[in-house]
Structure 1
Amino acid sequence: MNNGRYSHTATPITRRIQQLGIAAGVLLCASAQAQESIARAYILQYHHISDETPRSTSTAPDLFRQHMNFIAENGYQVLPLAEIIRTLQEGGGLPEKTVALTFDDGYKSIYETAYPLLKERGYPFTIFLNPDALDNHRSTHITWEQAREMGKHGGVVANHGLGHIHMVEVKPSEDASAWRARMTQNIEQAEKRIEEETGASLKLLAYPYGEYDASLQKLVSSLGYVGLGQHSGPIGPDSDWTSLPRFPASNAYSSVPQLKEKLSTLPLPAQMLSPQNILIADNNPPQLRFSTELNAKVTCYGSGQGLLDSAVDNNEVTVVGVAPFKGRRFRYNCTAPAGGGLFYWRSFPWINPAIPED
């Protein structure tokens, strides 16, 4: 997906300001100030912090340092993810520029490369890991001892399930009840091991591969967990606590200008009307329909397809891809101008389980 596509300088709102002059600019400034007061936070998602690992899931050490410098130099406050979520759930306020740092899988480069910089700056961070990787002493991953050391300096451990499996997949021999029992065991056993080794149970679950569906969301909610995906967007008080978005921060998606753009967004208020599930089969490309009360133009883009076909009827937006998607996972990213250099942003993820993992 092209996360660098949305140019603030070319928006209709900007052109309108130029046409109407200072008076309109004053009004827009007041509107922007109101929008900036919306409680929100940005969760950044990292995997490897290395030059020697797959580019799609890696952030170069120099780029990671640039990210941390940008955050520090532009007034962003890095807070613990669990604290941010709890505050938003309870309707509390957050600093205007709030960021959470997360790392998936527990790779050793987190400890070797990211941790020293985060410790130096006093930044809290969350590592989502599958405990069996540590229990099996994989050389590519951190150790429990390292996890406990990082815990003394703001690095907490949270749940990424056992085995890094595709949780949405149902085995041929399983019915719905058997699948639920297997997923419950997977999640709860991982949480138990984390608590045994670190002494803490945050009940935060990052879905492996960012894959979830309506059934998994229902299960996660019933178990008392907050679920996090790998689709993009800021979070706010009205976020779905079983599918929180995170902005990817790997080399491919997060140059410093791209990071700046991501951290200039607001949660796009939208109620998904159809389909009821993000798993697709014959409905490729899927048709998305959602409602929003924004008095602004909503524009949507698809992974690898660019601008998507869309129609607006009153407060309902209908979006569909221009051709079938070939990947197992893809996104519809929808934005709308909010004024003052801000954009509303929401990513709608899709999963085609018929396509095997690359």
Structure 2
Amino acid sequence: MFIRGFLLLSALLLCIQVQAAPGFRQLPLSDQKGDALNVAVWYPVSSAGITESAGDNPAFIGVAVIRNAPPAPGAHPLLVISHGYNGNWRNLSWIAAAMAAQGYIVAAPDHPGTTTFNQNPADAKQLWRRPRDLTAVIDAVIHSPGLFGATDKDRIAALGHSLGGWTVMSLAGARFDPARFLHDCRQHPQRGDCRLTDKLGIDEALSQEKLSADHRDARIRAVVSLDLGLAPGFTPRSLHDISLPVLILAAQMDQLAALPAEEESGYLAAAMRPQWRQFDIIDGATHFSFMSLCKPGAETLINEESPGDGIVCRDGSGASRSGIHQALVGKISAFLNASLDYHAPAGETP
């Protein structure tokens, strides 16, 4: 009897896991220069299927997905995601899968020049291409209903971590002034983002005109910024003029990445009108707590290959990354659902 009950319970748990897993496809695009733009897309599915892990590697835990599954019928909100400096879409797969389980289509590109897989110095210095990458991804998803399901064009949002936070704030209408940022960095030369001015081309005259352009995408109705960098370069006027909901989340333990909350996320919150922004500092979180869950021994493994980079697996003392992620999923999903006036269909996973 015990064995039979155990088998039934195991089968039930397997069914729950399968039903909760979103569909998943990888979509090759071309960016503005014709370079490859690799995009990962999670989306609601019409039926259960065989799951596999996406984003899993020897250091990080992936998420369960159903590759190339038929999309669910109906129109779905769209969330585009931007990774941090020299990161990739896998870093934020945990929030992508969580939002897809609530009925969202979620799409995340690898930004050429600032991704793990392409750190070409010339590409990295074309920082203005990042917001344009997300605009291209929105276009591609909207025009591919057969692959991912129909997009609800009135419910499109953007989320970004670190340099991805700068990217999505640009899409929200924040205007970047390279001269302003360089002036601020002369007063804070040890800040993490100030050490990237040369690598990102912020100090080059040829880049400054394009960086200061308007990158706003009017289709985006809500934005989530996760412990962003480069914030002091945004002009106060442009931040004040933003008129869409923005959730600004910062890490409490900001020493590892040297991105002080009061100079980065706090600067955004102070410059924006209160009715359009929510600001919170996440207890126990480091800058890297917003990345995927690390496997046991991952810090040592990463340090062996790239000394010092193992800090990406560190969270605040006494904090667990899984607990931080659980809290973040609640905050982010509540904000997006309210901002987009969206209610997950019955049967979706909240």
TM band (smaller chain): 0.3 to 0.5
Q: TM-score, normalised by structure 1?
A: 0.34
TM-score (norm 2): 0.34
Structure richer in helix, relative to its length:
2
